Structure 1
Amino acid sequence: MEFGSDLQIQVLEQAQRLWDIALGWLVSPAAWSQFALLVMAYLLALVVARKLRAPLTRLLTPPEDLDNPLAKTRRFVLIFVPLLLPLMAYAFTGIGESVTRSLFGSGAVIAFGKRVFLFLAVRILVREIIADPMMKLLGRYILIPVAALYALGLLEPAMAKLDETIVPLGNLSFSLLFALRFIVVGGAIFWMGRWSNDQSAQFLKKQDDMRPAMRELTAKAIEIGIFGVAFLLVMNIMGINLTSLAVLGGAIGVGLGFGLQKIASNFISGLILLLEGQATVGDYVELDGGEAGTIVKMGARAAILETFDGRWIVVPNEDFITTRVVNFSDSGSANRYEAPFSVSYDTDINKVPDLIEAAVAKHPRVLSEPFPPDCELRGFGDSGVDFAVEFWIEGIDDGANKFSSDVLFLIWNALKENEITIPYPHRVIELSGSIETRSQ
């Protein structure tokens, strides 16, 4: 309450001082000359900005199909073109200020106009250029108010008052100015860290020579390094002694030892998976618990499997280490499947293997390596002779792929074309003894 009343008194005193200065400017020839120079500087900046906007836009706009570093740099600079007018006005006003100070020994009016142009530049930057939600929030509620206070000459007294206001927090205490600086500096540094991490992740995705697991591991290592350096920079800039964080580190260690064992275990398991590369994004895996699907994402805590019916299964990384995992697509290896069928006992079964193998080999996705289709006699059933054909394909026999169904169609057509009968179950009932009939 005391802080608010003191600040209001200072604001009123500053407003009264500004009013007295404004009244003095009204009757001062030097002030009117400065105002005229201010208007001329703005008009000159308006003309120059209009002349430069179109050629600058053409120069900085790369072709849409270009995505090299130079094109990205040009697109990045292009978004700052709206700042051309206020920055040109600020520069011309600065020249006018040096002229008026050399002629009249003062330049308060034109210096005020220069600060106003800077405020307009900050306002355009926050409203039209900054797209990140967090940075836009910081700009709207911190950067624009600071620029407004600077334009009105109230920034220094406001900062002094914020520095004098101490906020107690247990055994610690800090000023409001320190808190605001921490928010601004921390937000800017961590935003830069996130931007750098996104750029490095996009760069790594384009490195086709690296294994997917190595790309994921490198991206995680870069992310940890970037945000670790950002944290140390924030602590150093704000003057926080890192040794004071030893108690906090000990508390975190105790928490990991008791309450966060699973999280730590899953994190370490994720690092092991990335290092070994036994399961990575794009692999179709089946876990010992019955979960099966394609790995679409591997995080620090868990992996996400997508089933062929569109469901996502979140599997902790620890399950990939402590349980049995069947990987159907590791390193792009082929998979073997089989299709069972039967023929009647009237068939010359010596002709069946060659006939079926030739028919299955016609399928465009059936491989000849590592082994061609192989038809085997499996047994003599109750209704017919049992066979099965083994075949190798590149992919998973599920979802969009219907390899077993296609192979069974090929078998059916081959047997029908060669007049081989596919048996169906039938039973022969034998009666022993005589059947007696009773008459009434």
Structure 2
Amino acid sequence: MFGIDLSGQPEIVVQVAGYIEAGWELAASWLLSPAAWSQFGLLVVAYFAALMVTRKLRPLLVRVLDPGDSTHLLATPRRFVMGFLPLLLPLMAYVFTGIGESIVRSLFDSGAVIAFGKRVFLFLAVRALVRDIITDSFLKLIGKYVFLPIAGLYALGMLDVAQTQLSAMTVQLGNISFSVMALVRGLIAGALLFWLGRWSNEQSTNFISKQEEMRPSIRQLAVKSVEFIIFGVAFLLLMNIMGINLSALAVLGGAIGVGLGFGLQKIASNFISGVILLVEGQATVGDYVELDGGEAGTIVRMTARAAILETFDGRWIVVPNEDFITTRVVNYSDSGSANRYEAPFSVSYDTDINIVPDIINAAVAAHPDVLNEPYPADCELVGFGDSGIDFTVEFWVNGIDDGQHKYKSQVLFIVWNALKDNGIQIPYPHRVVEFKGAVPKIET
């Protein structure tokens, strides 16, 4: 090259020098060729024509596509299409350059310069797509490090060479063999499928969550089912794109099955129990439950493996789904049904106990959260204690007596005040000591 002897240099240096020499010869031929100059002129004309058309067409498209503050059904698609307006100039230049290329090839039987310019305009379109249109951080990362390099190789006319070199390189993993090109194609497709699956899952989750006529448990099951289907289909598509025969994964699938059978029994059991819970709807998000083991709280989240309970003091308890199936569970919420509670108290033996129930029932019934249905407040005599007469008042509320709603405490305050207002004494422990024989003398 240029009279320089490269015979003693490494092979890669010789190859790079060969590419540089070929590029130099191509550039020299373009500089000295009238056809090349005519093609370059057509490139300039195509760009200015695209610029003029874009200036005229863009305001018209904005008026047609801009929905303003409208919430009409077509407003979102119109905003989406309007976001692609930055591609108008490079794509119009690409179209006009393509027309110029067909003219040049018919006249000179050559169009290398204008073809190169057309590829450059396509590269500029991809650059505008990544820089100005894509807003998702994950897609922007893919565009910056995948789409732009591919578009750059295409613009330089080296994309086919790169594909050939990558296709010739193979990777062997056991009995599975694939080329580096398949791996690159799989990484690109996998990234796009992952993003598309995540986006589809978010859209389907939002749609299902708005279906208020469905039970919460059925909505939860539908969300999980759609999620498994979306990512299952994405996995199968990725295997097909990479050219991996799924039958080659049979051994791996068998090993996973054996692992599920022996080492992952609990996980499988909890997963199946979770599906049963979602189908039956006996416990769902928002219910206040108490398990046989003493765990109690509001279900704030249900996963494939466990349910998460939040106690009244803010702690989270992770309870395996299997415990909801194999043990006794008390569901205090059960779709918002009323619950009965009791508040015990005592009065002095000097009290006329016949007036106590009416006083307490009227006072407790005045509480705004105490219900008259299914039963009103009911004060009952329960026994004669050592220090006083024992009563209890039963009352119904449409909620849970937990850290947020301390109904029992509030009712006891009401009982105390009602007894005080009516002059009824609340006893405290008394002890009577009897001495048999002479009373012992106390020496002073």
Residue 339 (str. 1) matches residue 343 (str. 2): yes
Residue 275 (str. 1) matches residue 279 (str. 2): yes
CA distance in 2, matches of 1:94, 1:11: 31
Q: Could you tell which deviates more after superposition, 298-307 or 202-211?
A: 298-307
Q: Residue 30 of structure 1: which of 32, 35, 53 is its match?
A: 35
Deviation at 1:434, TM superposition (A): 1.9
- Aligned residue for 1:236? 240
Provide closer, same or farther for how the CA distance between residues 73 and 137 of structure 1 changes in structure 2, counting only shifts above 3 A: same
- Aligned residue for 1:296? 300
| Secondary structure at the counterpart of residue 182 of structure 2 | helix
- Aligned residue for 1:220? 224
Aligned positions of 1:13-412 closer than 5 A: 13-53=18-58, 56-57=61-62, 59-62=64-67, 66=71, 70-412=74-416
- Aligned residue for 2:421? 417
Provide closer, same or farther for how the CA distance between residues 53 and 194 of structure 1 changes in structure 2, counting only shifts above 3 A: same
| Secondary structure at the counterpart of residue 330 of structure 1 | coil
Deviation at 1:407, TM superposition (A): 1.6
CA distance in 2, matches of 1:43, 1:296: 61
For the 8 Å contact 2:183–2:242, the answer to whether it is kept is: no
| 1:140-161 Cα distance to aligned partner (Å, 9 max, x none) | 3322211111110011111101
Provide closer, same or farther for how the CA distance between residues 6 and 137 of structure 1 changes in structure 2, counting only shifts above 3 A: farther
For the 8 Å contact 1:7–1:158, the answer to whether it is kept is: no
CA distance in 2, matches of 1:204, 1:419: 59
Q: Which runs of 4+ in 1 moved over 6 A?
A: 5-8
Q: Could you tell which deviates more after superposition, 156-165 or 69-78?
A: 69-78
For the 8 Å contact 2:176–2:248, the answer to whether it is kept is: no
Deviation at 1:439, TM superposition (A): 8.0
CA distance in 2, matches of 1:220, 1:338: 41
Provide closer, same or farther for how the CA distance between residues 48 and 326 of structure 1 changes in structure 2, counting only shifts above 3 A: farther
- The letter of the residue matching 2:432 is V
Percent identical across equivalent pairs?
Answer: 68
CA distance in 1, matches of 2:433, 2:52: 107
Deviation at 1:97, TM superposition (A): 2.4
- Aligned residue for 2:5? none
Deviation at 1:110, TM superposition (A): 2.1
CA distance in 2, matches of 1:437, 1:29: 139
Residue ranges of structure 2 left out of the alignment (5+ in a row)? 1-9
| 1:319-377 Cα distance to aligned partner (Å, 9 max, x none) | 21122211111122111111111211222111111221111111121111111111111
- The letter of the residue matching 1:361 is A
CA distance in 1, matches of 2:269, 2:176: 34
- The letter of the residue matching 2:191 is G
Provide closer, same or farther for how the CA distance between residues 43 and 347 of structure 1 changes in structure 2, counting only shifts above 3 A: farther
Deviation at 1:53, TM superposition (A): 4.7
Q: Could you tell which deviates more after superposition, 233-242 or 127-136?
A: 127-136
How many matched pairs? Answer: 435
CA distance in 1, matches of 2:144, 2:377: 69
Residue 435 (str. 1) matches residue 439 (str. 2): yes
- The letter of the residue matching 1:327 is N
Deviation at 1:134, TM superposition (A): 4.2
For the 8 Å contact 1:372–1:392, the answer to whether it is kept is: yes
Provide closer, same or farther for how the CA distance between residues 7 and 251 of structure 1 changes in structure 2, counting only shifts above 3 A: farther
CA distance in 2, matches of 1:381, 1:353: 18
TM-score by length of 1: 0.90
